[in-house]
Amino acid sequence: MLETKVLKADLEEDLMMAAFLIKQGELVAVPTETVYGLAADASNSKAVEKIFIAKGRPSDHPLIVHVASFEKILKWAKDIPIAAKVLADIFWPGPLTLVLKKSDLAGDVVTGGLNTIAIRVPKNKAFLRLLEVLDTGIAAPSANPHKRISPTTSEHVMYGLSGKIAAVLDAGPCQLGIESTILDLTSSIPKILRHGPITKKMLEDVLKVTIESPEEHSEKISGNMKDHYQPYAKTFIKSLKDIQNIISLSSNLHEKIGVMHYSELVGEHKNIVIRKMPQDKLGYANSMYDSLHYLDQMGVSQIFVEIPSAEEDWRDVLDRLSKASAKNNIF
Ligand code: TXA
Ligand code: MG
């Protein structure tokens, strides 16, 4: 067991300690605008291997490499299409990951043996500073144990990985709270592999072409596995009416249950831990993982989530909730 240090992103000496640990080949959880990432020097395959051990992640699941600016992707990717530059000019730094052909320098440990690489420039100031100081690419999946809920605070990271990583660099809650959009640019039609804050429409408006977003694709993409992002409590997506019924029967409950809703609920609710969610998409996405973590930690046996909006820009939220409840809902 390691003693995981909690470092503060606004303290220069802590930031330099995080840089030093990464340079030494250690793992440090770092803040990004999406979720906390588990960082290792992408050019050090021994360090990258530690990510898979700490997370319990299968070794053929590729990682995202983070770099300080568009120019730095040249080291990791080749045959870069013009669309990558057009998108980077608009969305980087930010929550868009591009899948490109990998360069010979990009190691197999990072790419899970694929001939492509996922890459992005993150927006968090402290993380960008680390990338500049270290002048390398940083491989970083979300800093949670494999298949569990992504972390949006340093406390979430500690809950899942304390004792398994050298440090966490705390910069408070993540600004967006949901993982980046992943766009594959390696074939003639760009394809969304994971929905995220940059929507299909936002991408199409910039590229002026139709983008594919298949419901199902290769299982290699771990975020695409049906049972990802799982709370410990059994999770269900339900209509408001069903949730209302559950609440009306709550006085007979023998164990605590959790409810995440955004519509108005009526009636007394005993034995129920409630999280009232924001009604706007950004607000909802921002507190989604935090609410699932909170309900889990309150020791509820089941979580009932009111079915979110079916609007296109809610696709990422619906995707993560469907996976959180995959064992229990039939979609
Ligand atoms: O917002 C994010 O993207 C966060 C922060 C830390 O940057 N990272 C993140 O990483 O969500 P992770 O490992 O939890 O999810 C990355 C996803 C995985 O589903 C992985 O399979 C996919 O990206 N991926 C990585 N490389 C790929 C590639 N070459 N082709 C297709 N998918 C890839
Ligand atoms: Mg993840």
Peptide bond into 308 cis (omega under 30): no
Average pLDDT on 227-252 reads 88
On whether residue 222 sits in a domain, the answer given is no
Per the document, the length of the chain is: 331
The answer on pLDDT for 255 being more than 90 is: no
Beta-strand relationship, 181-184 and 191-194: antiparallel
Domain co-membership, 87 together with 170: yes
Examine the fold and report which residue of 207, 242, 269 is the final residue of a domain before the chain moves on. Answer: 207
CATH of the domain at 261: 3.40.50.11030
Closest CA to 73 of 47, 57, 96: 96
Q: Are residues 195 and 250 in the same domain?
A: no
Ligand 1: centre distance to CA 37 (Å):
10
Amino acid in position 254? H
Whether the pLDDT of residue 282 is over 60: the answer is yes
Mean per-residue pLDDT, 228-253: 89
**Could you tell me the pLDDT band of residue 216, with boundaries at 50, 70 and 90?**
low
Residue 248's pLDDT is 85
Confidence of residue 222 (pLDDT cuts 50, 70, 90): very low
Q: Which atom of ligand 1 is least distant from the CA of 34?
A: 1
DSSP state of 73: G
Residues 261 and 318 in one domain: yes
One domain for residues 239 and 145: no
Q: Which two tokens stand for residue 319?
A: 């995707």
Instruction: Tell whether 297 is covered by a domain.
Output: yes
116 and 20 both lie in a single domain? yes
Top mutation candidate among 108, 182, 225, 286 for ligand 1, by most atoms within 8 Å of CB: 182
Residue 109 pLDDT greater than 80, yes or no: yes
Rounded Cα distance, 7 and 110, in Å: 26
189 plus 270 within the same structural domain: no
What's the predicted TM-score (pTM) here? 0.95
In a shared domain, residues 259 and 306: yes
Residue 88 lies in a domain: yes
Q: Are 160 and 171 in contact (CB under 8 A)?
A: no
Residue 149 belongs to domain with CATH number: 3.90.870.10
27, part of any domain: yes
Residues 6+ apart with CB under 8 A from 149: 156, 229, 230, 231, 289, 292, 293, 296, 324
Is 213 part of a structural domain of the chain?
no
Is residue 160 within 8 A of residue 148, CB to CB? The reply is yes
Mean pLDDT of the 201-226 span: 76
From the CA of 66, give the closest atom in ligand 1: 7
pLDDT band at residue 105, thresholds of 50, 70 and 90? confident
33: pLDDT strictly greater than 90: yes
Q: How far apart are CA 298 and CA 304, in angstroms?
A: 14
11 lies in the same domain as 149: yes
Residues having CB within 6 Å of any atom of ligand 1:
32, 34-35, 37, 61-64, 95, 97, 99, 111, 114, 116-118, 122, 140-142, 179-180, 182, 193, 221-223
Asked if residue 17 belongs to a domain, the reply is: yes
Q: How far apart are CA 13 and CA 47, in angstroms?
A: 22
Residue 93 lies in a domain: yes
Answer with the one of 172, 207, 242 that is the final residue of a domain: 207
CB-CB contact of 254 with 270 (8 Å):
no
SS3 222: helix
Do 173 and 126 belong together in one domain? yes
**Pairing mode, strands 64-66 and 5-8:** unpaired
Closest CA to 270 of 286, 285, 259, 282: 259
Kindly give the distance from the C-alpha atom of residue 279 to the centroid of ligand 1, in angstroms, as a whole number.
28
Instruction: Report which ligand 1 atom has the smallest distance to the Cα of 223.
Output: 19
Contact criterion met (CB below 8 Å) for 58 and 88? no
CA of 122 to the centre of ligand 1 (A): 13
Residue of 230 and 124 predicted with greater confidence: 124
| CA-wise closest residue to 40 among 161, 140, 160 | 140
Q: Are 246 and 138 in a shared domain?
A: no
The range of the structural domain enclosing residue 241 comes to 234-328
Q: Is residue 224 part of a domain?
A: no
Cβ-based neighbour number of residue 261 at 10 Å: 19
Q: Which two tokens stand for residue 248?
A: 């009306």
Segment 213-231 mean pLDDT: 64
Q: How confident is the model at residue 224 (pLDDT cuts 50, 70, 90)?
A: low
pLDDT confidence of residue 226:
63
Domain total of the chain: 2
| Same-domain status, 57 and 102 | yes
Same domain, 137 and 275: no
Confidence of residue 329 (pLDDT cuts 50, 70, 90): low
Probe residue for ligand 1, chosen from 48, 130, 148, 179 as the CB with the greatest number of ligand atoms within 8 Å: 179
Point out the ligand 1 atom lying closest to the alpha carbon of residue 30. Answer: 6
Q: Residue 265 pLDDT > 70, yes or no?
A: yes
9 contacts: CB under 8 Å, gap ≥ 6? 15, 31, 125, 126, 169, 170, 171
